[in-house]
Chains A and B, each alone.
Chain A
Amino acid sequence: MQKISREELQKRLDQINELFASIVTHAQHQSTMRCPYKNRFDECTANFGCRNKRKPVAPGGLPVCAGDDKLNYRKAWE
Chain B
Amino acid sequence: MAEISNVSNEFIRQEIEEFIERPEERERTINLFARARPEMQVIAAALIEGDNETVDQLTRQALDSGIEAVEVMDYGLIAGMGIVGIKFRQNFIFVPEVLACARAMKAGMAHVEPILSASGIDPVGTVIMGTVKGDLHDIGKNLCIMMLRGAGFVVHDLGVDTSPDKFIEAVEEIKAPLLGMSALLTTTMPNMGKTIEAFIDADLRDQVKIMVGGAPVTQDFADDMGADGYGKDALACVALAKSLLGVAVKS
Which A residues form the contact surface with B (CB < 8 A)? 1-6, 8-9, 12-17, 19-28, 30-31, 34, 36-40, 45-48, 74, 77
Main SS class of interface, B: helix
Q: A4-B69, A16-B81 are in contact. Are A23 and B98 (CB under 8 A)?
A: yes
Main SS class of interface, A: helix
- Give the chain A neighbours of B151 by CB distance below 8 A: 13, 16-17
With beta carbons under 8 angstroms apart, the residue of A14, A16, A26 that contacts B88 is: A26
Distance in angstroms between the alpha carbons of A2 and B90 in the assembled complex: 38
Residue of B nearest to A13 (CB): B152
Count of chain B residues with Cβ under 8 Å from any Cβ of A?
48
Residue of B nearest to A47 (CB): B136
Q: Mark B87-122, 1 if CB is under 8 A from A, else 0.
A: 011011111111000100000000010111011010
Q: Which stretch from B1-9, B139-147, B202-210 is at the chain A interface? A: B139-147
- Give the chain A neighbours of B84 by CB distance below 8 A: 23
A67 to chain B, nearest CB (A): 13
Q: A25-B235, A26-B88, A77-B137 are in contact. Are A16 and B94 (CB under 8 A)?
A: no
20 contacts across the A-B interface (CB closer than 8 A): A2-B68, A2-B69, A2-B118, A4-B69, A9-B116, A9-B119, A14-B250, A15-B78, A16-B151, A17-B150, A20-B146, A24-B146, A26-B88, A27-B98, A31-B95, A36-B96, A38-B96, A39-B94, A40-B92, A46-B136
Query: Would you call A2 and B115 a contact (CB within 8 A)?
Result: yes
